[in-house]
Amino acid sequence: MKNDTILVLADPAEPQIALLKNSLAGAEILVGNSAEQFEQAATRASVLFNWSGSLALFRKVFGMCPNLRWVHSRSVGLERTLFPELIESSAPLTNGVGVFSASLGEFALGAILYFAKDFRRMIRSQMAGVWEAFDVLPVSGHTVGIIGYGDIGRAVAARVRPLGMTVLAVKRHASPLKDSDPLVEQIYTPDHRIDMLPRCDYLVVAAPLTSETRGMIGEHEFAAMRRTAVIINIGRGPVINEEALIRALSTGRIKGAALDVFNHEPLPPGHPFYKLENVLLSPHCADHTPDWLDNAMQFFIAQFERFQKGEPLQNVVDKKLGY
């Protein structure tokens, strides 16, 4: 290992820290959850790794480190990470895109089947001791629209397409995707998302939270959707206007919603989502597999090895765009 100093914002007792130190035994690794713990090492730090630190701590420690050559965030979402000093810095920023995509794709598929087969009704009848047959819906031949066709969106498409579902997508930069991506039938730019919505039986929101995507699914979009449509959010809560979603669900404007992310987390007691029968609620843990933290750390270790060799880093963030 070269003489790189890595500052890791984390509780030193977290199990993955031992994995990091064992794997990068030749590097100087300093771990802490207060700025004071990094005062002596900050000037020689070349890498800053925000494993689980708060935004305030991240920003403060970043400001203490004049010689950083790389910054990494464990999280995929960066809306709370991109403070002005980091945006203007020449140090590249990378994140955990791809580490959690498979599990989120599986959650979206599970949510589609949950509503198509009406598992809630089955469970309710089972618990009541009632034998009551009913019709269920196929998913083959139905259409999934994906808002935000990045790594997570592709993971969704890869899981629903083999079931015979048609995939449509909204992506910031349109391209002749039909020719280059066999999973997707048609791609739309964000300003034409209304054209896609009436075609969708299921709408999966997987977009990052930026100034452009905040509130992009609201009253106008719900009015354009089918009354039988289900919306699934595995991106960021504020991409959907929460008040508009509650109205759409409460009035039967859409069939249902499966939500892993919310405007405020934890979701406060008494929130309408807890009581709505047509909501499947996940407490922001759709990607929390038993090994999700180990995988996130292994990704950083592999990234650091690329960094040491001078190879291109993966998941370099466009700090101006926010993803």
Helix or strand (DSSP H, E) at 166: strand 166-170
- In the sheet with 28-32, reading across from the earlier edge strand, the strands are 28-32, 5-9, 47-50, 70-73, 93-94
Q: Residue 77's pLDDT is what? A: 81
The answer to whether 236 is a known catalytic residue is yes
Specify whether 113 is located in the same domain as 148: yes
- The CATH number of the domain holding residue 127 is 3.40.50.720
Strand partners, 169: 146, 187
Specify whether 82 is located in the same domain as 108: no
Q: Residue 174's pLDDT is what? A: 64
Of residues 214, 247, 284, 306, which has the active-site annotation?
A: 284
Of residues 142, 159, 236, 242, which has the active-site annotation?
A: 236
Average the pLDDT over 92-118 and give the result: 96
What percentage of the chain carries pLDDT values higher than 90? 91
Digit-coded pLDDT (tens) for 264-315: 999 999 999 999 999 999 999 999 999 999 999 999 999 999 999 999 999 9
Specify whether 89 is located in the same domain as 127: no
Total domain count, the chain:
2
Of residues 39, 212, 265, 305, which has the active-site annotation?
A: 265
The per-residue pLDDT of the chain, averaged, comes to: 95
* The pairing of beta strand 93-94 with beta strand 70-73: parallel
Count Cβ atoms below 10 Å from residue 5 Cβ, excluding itself.
19
What percentage of the chain carries pLDDT values higher than 70? 98
Identify the domain containing residue 106 by its residue range: 101-281
Query: Is residue 317's pLDDT more than 50?
Result: yes
Q: Residue 177's pLDDT is what? A: 46
Average the pLDDT over 44-66 and give the result: 97
Specify whether 130 is located in the same domain as 242: yes
Q: Residue 2's pLDDT is what? A: 60
Q: Residue 80's pLDDT is what? A: 72
Query: Is residue 136's pLDDT more than 60?
Result: yes
The answer to whether 121 is a known catalytic residue is no
CA pair distance 7, 126, nearest whole angstrom? 53
